[in-house]
Amino acid sequence: MFNQTSIQAILVCQGAEYQAVCRGLSRVNGYKPLVIPIPVGIKPSYTYLQKSQELKEILNDPQSKVLVMGLCGSLQPRYQVGDIVLYADCIYQQNTGEILVYACDSTLTASLQHDLQEKAAVVKALTSDRIIWLSSEKCHLGQMLAADVVDMEGYAVLEFFKSTRLGVGMVRVVSDGCDRNLPNLNSTLNSEGSLQPLSLAIAMLKQPIAATRLVRGAFQGLQVLEKVTTCLFN
């Protein structure tokens, strides 16, 4: 069992994921770590962490641990909506094709898995600089890179903390499978890593079936995320 007080901060994407984690912590009676909302995307999240005043005190304590929480997409058929995953490491493919990788804190990951009673699979994650919305591309990336899930921030967080002594763990919940298309929401993200409501609404209306699937998967994933947060810190 991991020591909850060693987790000084939870990093989670702003919006619904942040709110789910906060709801989960609201049911915890004891120690509660600081919850920091970060923007969506590699560059926005990295830039945010560099400027974050909230992290400064945490960075001065080498015993501190940081936990990344949120949703992710599946790249393999065996990982379905609602499944809990723990990251072993996170890869990023550069434009040149070179694969970069950073590992999570293995001791923290093992402790988290024990605390979740081994209900969470340990996976290899891919961080993408865009939303992977086509099922064919999800399956292709999963096969080509031997990655299990995809997100848009994990690698950036690990890159930021590489120069510190702080251990980083990542717990995410799958919110979309690899067998169905999602709406193409790439045009709805601005350069600061925020979703633009009007663009989002238009994109969802253009692909109503995929949009319904996205909403259902996100709702299910957020419910599990909330419960996992309570479980880990109670």
HEC string of 80-145 equals CCCCEEEEEEEEEECCCCCEEEEECCHHHHHHHHHHCCCCCEEEEEEECCCCCCCHHHHHHHHHHH
Mean pLDDT, rounded, for 198-221: 95
pTM of the prediction? Answer: 0.96
Q: Does residue 118 register a pLDDT over 70?
A: yes
pLDDT band at 1 (very low <50, low <70, confident <90, very high): low
Work out the pLDDT band at 2, boundaries 50, 70, 90.
low
- CA 88 – CA 62 distance, rounded (Å): 21
User: Quick one: pLDDT at residue 119?
Assistant: 84
Separation of alpha carbons 78 and 76, rounded Å: 6
CA distance 210 to 182: 5
Mean pLDDT of 109-115: 93
Residue 16 scores a pLDDT above 60: yes
Residue 227: its H or E element: helix 208-233
Indicate the average pLDDT of the chain: 94
Question: What CATH code is assigned to 4-233?
Answer: 3.40.50.1580
Q: What percent of the chain has pLDDT over 90?
A: 84
CA 89, CA 154: separation in Å to the nearest integer?
A: 9
Mean pLDDT, residues 94-115 taken together: 94
Percent of the chain with pLDDT over 70: 98
The average pLDDT across 36-59 equals 93
Phi/psi at 149 (5° precision): -140, 165
Q: Output Rg (C-alpha) for the chain, integer angstroms.
A: 17
Residue type at 1? M
171: left (phi over 0), alpha (psi -120 to 50) or beta: beta
